[in-house]
Amino acid sequence: MKLMSLGDIVGKAPFKHGANYEAKIVSQNIFAEKDQKVAANYTVMPHAVYSYPQVAGVGLMEEQAQKMEIDYVLGVYPYMRTGMGRALHDEDGFMKVLADRKTRRIIGAHIIGTDASILIHELVVVMAAAGGDVEAVKNTIHIHPSLSEVVARAVNSISWEGKAPNYGKTLMERTTEQKI
């Protein structure tokens, strides 16, 4: 007898959507032949915080990429540099994308701002279905004006030479400077 588990008890992705994903894997493995069983892959597990502003992410954070000694580059783009960002007056919203310099694959993405939990899904799909290929985003037509332009522009702002454009201090930088 083999014990299978899913959800919070696994300790990998303590989210409802993580448990749904694990349930899919467990059910596939229950009925699969021994050589067709699959392991759960948590590298593209999105997360979100439904606060104001919303926060969402997928993949690696900078600190993780540094610890793994990945040669990465950044793309950063503020909401206010898009038509919809200005229309919504989202002065603090921004997106940051991490890409592996050698493979030109997206390895992480993080968003703070309006509808971050929705916008992150474009990068989830790119990372899961297109292996993180930045060209998958670059070759996609994004509606104007829409917040999805933040995703396209963050990816397009990746500087393969290593420096992302400076659009002033982000909400994160301003928050960490404040004394609590």
Angle at 11 between CA 28 and CA 39, to 5 degrees: 30
> Which residue among 17, 47, 142, 144 is the active-site one?
144
Classify burial at 44, counting beta carbons within 10 Å of its beta carbon; exposed 0-12, middle 13-18, buried 19 or more.
middle
Domain range annotation of the chain? 7-36, 47-177
Residues 6+ apart with CB under 8 A from 168: 78
Q: Is 144 a catalytic residue?
A: yes
Q: 47-177 — its CATH code?
A: 3.30.390.30
- Give the pLDDT confidence of 25-74 residue by residue, as tens digits: 888 988 888 888 888 888 899 999 999 999 999 999 999 999 999 999 99
Longest Cα pair distance anywhere in the chain, in angstroms?
59
User: What pTM was estimated for this model as a whole?
Assistant: 0.83
- Give the pLDDT confidence of 118-159 residue by residue, as tens digits: 999 999 999 999 999 999 999 999 999 999 999 999 999 998
